[in-house]
Amino acid sequence: MSSWHPSVCPHDCPSVCALEVEKRADGRLGKVRGSLRNAYTAGVVCAKVARYHERFHHPERLAYPLRRKGPKGSGAFERISWEDALDAIAEGLTRAEQRFGPETVWPYWYAGTMGLVQRDGIQRLTHVKKYSRFKSTICVMLSDTGFKAGHGLRWGVPATEIGEHSEVIVVWGCNPVHTHVNLMSHIARARKERGAKLVVVDPYRSATAEQADLHLPLRPGTDGALACGVMHVLFAEGLADRDYLARFSDVPDELERHLRSRTPEWAAAITGLEPAEIVAFARLWGSTRRAFLRLGYGFTRSRNGAANMHAASCLPVVTGAWAHAGGGALYNFGDLYRFDKTMIEGLDAVDPSVRLLDQSQIGPILVGDAEALQGGPPVTALLVQNTNPVAIAPDLGKVHRGFARDDLFVAVHEQFMTDTARMADIVLPATMFLEHADIYSAAAHPTIQIHKAIFAPYAECRPNHVVICELAKRLGAEHPGFLMSEWELIDDLCRRSGWPDAETIHAAGGWEVLPDFATAHHLAGFPTPDGRFRFAPDWASLGARGHLMPKLPDHMPATDEITPEKPYRLVAAPSRQFLNSTFTEMPTSLKREERPTALLHPATMARLGLEDGDLVRLGNERGSVLVHAKARPGQHRGTIVVESIWPNRYWVEGVGINLLLGADPAPPNGGAAIHDTAVWLEPVEAAPPAAVAEALATA
Ligand SMILES: Nc1nc2c(c(=O)[nH]1)N[C@H]1C(S)=C(S)[C@@H](COP(=O)(O)OP(=O)(O)OC[C@H]3O[C@@H](n4cnc5c(=O)[nH]c(N)nc54)[C@H](O)[C@@H]3O)O[C@H]1N2
Ligand SMILES: Nc1nc2c(c(=O)[nH]1)N[C@H]1C(S)=C(S)[C@@H](COP(=O)(O)OP(=O)(O)OC[C@H]3O[C@@H](n4cnc5c(=O)[nH]c(N)nc54)[C@H](O)[C@@H]3O)O[C@H]1N2
Ligand code: SF4
Ligand SMILES: [Mo]
């Protein structure tokens, strides 16, 4: 007989789905489905996680610790014992530290698992050992900064209100059909029950845009201009709620004056949209107070991304939509959880004088860029958990050169032989979420969820927490957190943060952290010091380069703009069947994605004499990649979209699309400009070398 168990999806996705997992009579993983116990998940789960048995029982899962025996990156490893592997890592880190001091060691992590214990515990080791600290910038730095600029703190209206009340839904700069499919079920209900209209703001006709009543395919990085054009119309046509503005915002009159010159024509010239489209969008938004704005991450991955987030986030304030059921905005519920992570992260051991290295600048850092290293010692040792920078980081050529350095010691704790693991000196096998306990918060719904292990670890796999504690022992790092079990850390976190204990939350199937409607809708004011939304943010308080930000919502001309030499703008958007580089090991995902592909406007294809499947070369000052072209209507003629992130071996010349992306930190406080790249494009005659065709055929 098989049994069903409650679980939580651990992957780096806003949805953090509540799952039901089948353990079959033979002890193997059976079906995975969305649970009904969470109103946001509501029984829905994405296709790739529904096929999780393929990943869980994958023949290429890492099973044993490995030591490199050939040259770096050769893929030649030998099996060793856990004792030997942990000793070798401790020795590698200690030797580096003896030569250059503790800041030469950089524990490097990200959100491969979103569990707070297994994801964040590595920072306890960082802080206690005074290793270089980690400034997490690759994903939410720009969006967080831009949202906080106006709202103060991050929370919003639950997506379940969309289904119940919304009449207009705007999906701005995200692609939920690919990246958090659950949102679409709430939108579908609103359309079915009351004919709600869906607007999608995205440079290309994404799978979400395909479903829209109105798709606005603006040029990448011009969202600030679009938002200003829309607000101009709202004020000009009497659709702004002046009473609401007077009560709940800082400088509404100044904003209105400032917007007088931001006409739809002005915005059209910048965005590449028609003035009439902008007016139509504004009238639709202003036609009801039950208008819901889903603010994504994608549109903030530009050098002006924080300004664009702030500008777009002004819309529901101008019309007062916030005060109504089904109205307002949702970006992220992050600040409702108010977690005290002292024990998990060792926050009592933080030394602010230790340098903070920028996650997104790993390329420049590893090739010795003095500015990125902040004048400190070189990085000569990396301990990596939960991330795959050799595939996903910007300025990927530098990342590859850096990882190839013979004087760099690298230990990688992974589930698969990823591009990063392949470059390691020591590889450790990691458990998957079904094999360890953890606690999860979510971005897209306001729920704490706790998970208990359902399966015994595969082969010799160990959880991140165990590895960090074992290393601490060998490195002489002392902190009470290293002596606690996973469960003790989860329970400590809950109690310390003022939530019920871990058993209670687990037994309840999750814990809602949003108190009531009034809080969700900021009925008593926004979570800023004076309760007012900021049209004029205090950017200086949000980052060292606040002086570069526009005083009021505006178009901030800071992107990698086109030139005669580089006439196209590249968007490296997420693909549907992969999650970043995770799931690229699953045969069914690879098959459905086919191969790396550049989506071009049909007119651009025609002008260059290209047909579907022809090879093109995309390039800029950082290098170039070969990729197959495909026509996609519904985007600007100058926009190229490459749905990512394919492992390097699937690229004709062995390096992925991130080779073209810049790693320069965007203002005011850093962040990766993943979708902000000017490129040239050349048609190419040659067929791809046999190696790649073979990699795809045997996948
Ligand atoms: N299937 C799948 N799911 C995922 C991921 C994945 O890779 N695949 N990644 C996960 C992660 S880590 C995250 S952070 C989330 C991200 O979730 P999203 O916010 O949905 O993803 P983004 O990369 O941020 O990009 C989404 C959309 O932004 C658009 N975009 C790019 N530039 C601009 C712009 O200048 N303006 C506007 N308006 N739109 C723009 C892109 O064309 C794309 O359609 O998804 C998570 N879920
Ligand atoms: N071109 C392009 N590049 C991008 C983006 C994009 O949209 N386009 N998006 C950017 C964004 S938003 C992000 S967040 C980054 C994400 O990039 P990454 O952080 O590299 O995310 P993943 O590729 O999912 O890698 C996570 C790794 O963690 C491993 N893992 C999962 N669970 C565990 C565990 O419990 N223990 C251990 N030890 N390992 C585990 C997985 O096997 C996987 O290899 O990519 C960025 N790069
Ligand atoms: S939608 Fe996101 S959270 Fe839900 S199962 Fe898929 S990857 Fe996991
Ligand atoms: Mo992300």
Alpha carbons 551 and 250: distance in angstroms, whole number:
13
What pLDDT, on a 0 to 100 scale, did the predictor assign at position 608?
96
pLDDT tens digits, one per residue of 64-82? 999 999 999 999 999 999 9
pTM of the predicted model as reported, rounded to 2 decimal places: 0.98
pLDDT level of residue 699 (50, 70, 90 thresholds) = low
- Give percent of the chain above pLDDT 90: 98
What pLDDT, on a 0 to 100 scale, did the predictor assign at position 644?
86
Residue nearest to atom 8 of ligand 3 (CA): 9
**Order of strands across the sheet with 511-512?**
438-440, 447-451, 511-512
Q: How far is the CA of 180 from the centre of ligand 3 (A)?
A: 6
Counting from 1 in the atom list of ligand 3, the atom nearest the Cα of 180 is 1
Q: Which region among 351-355, 607-611, 661-665, 692-696 has the lowest average model confidence (pLDDT)?
A: 692-696
pLDDT level of residue 297 (50, 70, 90 thresholds) = very high
**What does the pLDDT average to over 583-592?**
96
**What does the pLDDT average to over 136-141?**
98
Alpha carbons 497 and 436: distance in angstroms, whole number:
22
Which of 143, 392, 418, 584 for mutating ligand 2's site (highest number of atoms within 8 Å of CB)? 392
pLDDT level of residue 693 (50, 70, 90 thresholds) = low
Which among 25, 186, 115 is positioned nearest to 442, based on CA atoms?
115
Helix/strand number for the chain, H first, E second: 28, 25
Counting from 1 in the atom list of ligand 2, the atom nearest the Cα of 421 is 44
DSSP 8-state class, residue 664: P
Q: How far is the CA of 573 from the centre of ligand 1 (A)?
A: 6
In this predicted structure, the answer to whether residue 695 has a pLDDT above a threshold of 80 is no
pLDDT tens digits, one per residue of 205-238? 999 999 999 999 999 999 999 999 999 999 999 9
In this predicted structure, the answer to whether residue 588 has a pLDDT above a threshold of 80 is yes
Q: Is the dihedral of CA 515, 521, 522, 523 positive or negative?
A: negative
Mean pLDDT of the residues in the chain: 97
What pLDDT, on a 0 to 100 scale, did the predictor assign at position 348?
98
pLDDT level of residue 691 (50, 70, 90 thresholds) = low
| Residue 459 region by backbone torsions, left for phi larger than 0, else alpha for psi between -120 and 50, else beta | left
Which of 202, 205, 309, 360 for mutating ligand 1's site (highest number of atoms within 8 Å of CB)? 202
User: By the 8 A CB rule, do 597 and 627 touch?
Assistant: yes
601 CB less than 6 Å from ligand 3? no
Strand-pairing partners, residue 512, are: 447
pLDDT tens digits, one per residue of 632-682? 999 999 999 999 899 999 999 999 999 999 999 999 999 999 999 999 999
Amino acid found at 593: E
Q: In the Cβ-directed half-sphere of 647, how many Cα atoms lie within 13 Å?
A: 21
Alpha carbons 24 and 125: distance in angstroms, whole number:
38
What pLDDT, on a 0 to 100 scale, did the predictor assign at position 490?
98
Strands 168-172 and 291-295: parallel
pLDDT tens digits, one per residue of 37-70? 999 999 999 999 999 999 999 999 999 999 999 9
pLDDT tens digits, one per residue of 522-532? 999 999 999 99
Residues 6 or more apart from 353 whose CB is under 8 A from it? none
How many residues in the chain? 699
Counting from 1 in the atom list of ligand 2, the atom nearest the Cα of 413 is 38
Complete domains list, the chain, with CATH: 3-56 (3.30.200.210), 66-138+337-512 (3.40.50.740), 142-331 (3.40.228.10), 568-698 (2.40.40.20)
In this predicted structure, the answer to whether residue 697 has a pLDDT above a threshold of 70 is no
Q: How far is the CA of 249 from the centre of ligand 4 (A)?
A: 31
Q: How far is the CA of 176 from the centre of ligand 4 (A)?
A: 13
Q: How far is the CA of 300 from the centre of ligand 1 (A)?
A: 9
In this predicted structure, the answer to whether residue 533 has a pLDDT above a threshold of 90 is yes
pLDDT level of residue 685 (50, 70, 90 thresholds) = confident
pLDDT tens digits, one per residue of 535-569? 999 999 999 999 999 999 999 999 999 999 999 99
pLDDT tens digits, one per residue of 165-182? 999 999 999 999 999 999
- Give percent of the chain above pLDDT 70: 98
16 CB less than 6 Å from ligand 3? yes
What pLDDT, on a 0 to 100 scale, did the predictor assign at position 688?
61
**What does the pLDDT average to over 101-117?**
98
What pLDDT, on a 0 to 100 scale, did the predictor assign at position 334?
98
What residues line ligand 2, using a CB cutoff of 6 Å? 12, 110-113, 118, 138-139, 385-388, 392, 413-416, 418, 430, 464, 572, 574, 579-582, 644-645, 657-658, 674
Strands 197-201 and 168-172: parallel
Sole residue written with tokens 């530290």: 97
| Residue 278 region by backbone torsions, left for phi larger than 0, else alpha for psi between -120 and 50, else beta | alpha
178 CB less than 6 Å from ligand 1? yes
Q: How far is the CA of 396 from the centre of ligand 3 (A)?
A: 27
Amino acid found at 272: G
pLDDT tens digits, one per residue of 375-423? 999 999 999 999 999 999 999 999 999 999 999 999 999 999 999 999 9
Alpha carbons 531 and 151: distance in angstroms, whole number:
9
Alpha carbons 461 and 206: distance in angstroms, whole number:
38
Which among 437, 366, 446, 359 is positioned nearest to 404, based on CA atoms?
366
**What does the pLDDT average to over 688-697?**
62
| C-alpha pair distances (Å), 244 with each of 80, 147, 620 | 66, 20, 48
Give one DSSP letter per residue of 302-371, joined into a string: STTHHHHHHHHTTHHHHTTGGGSTT-EEES--GGGS----HHHHTGGG--TTS-EEEGGGHHHHHTT-TT
Residue 101: count other Cβ atoms within 10 Å of its Cβ.
14
What pLDDT, on a 0 to 100 scale, did the predictor assign at position 411?
99
Q: How far is the CA of 597 from the centre of ligand 4 (A)?
A: 21
What pLDDT, on a 0 to 100 scale, did the predictor assign at position 331?
98
Strand-pairing partners, residue 19, are: 7, 34
Sole residue written with tokens 């044993």: 64
pLDDT level of residue 696 (50, 70, 90 thresholds) = low
- Quick one: how far is CA 557 from the chain centroid? 24
pLDDT level of residue 692 (50, 70, 90 thresholds) = low
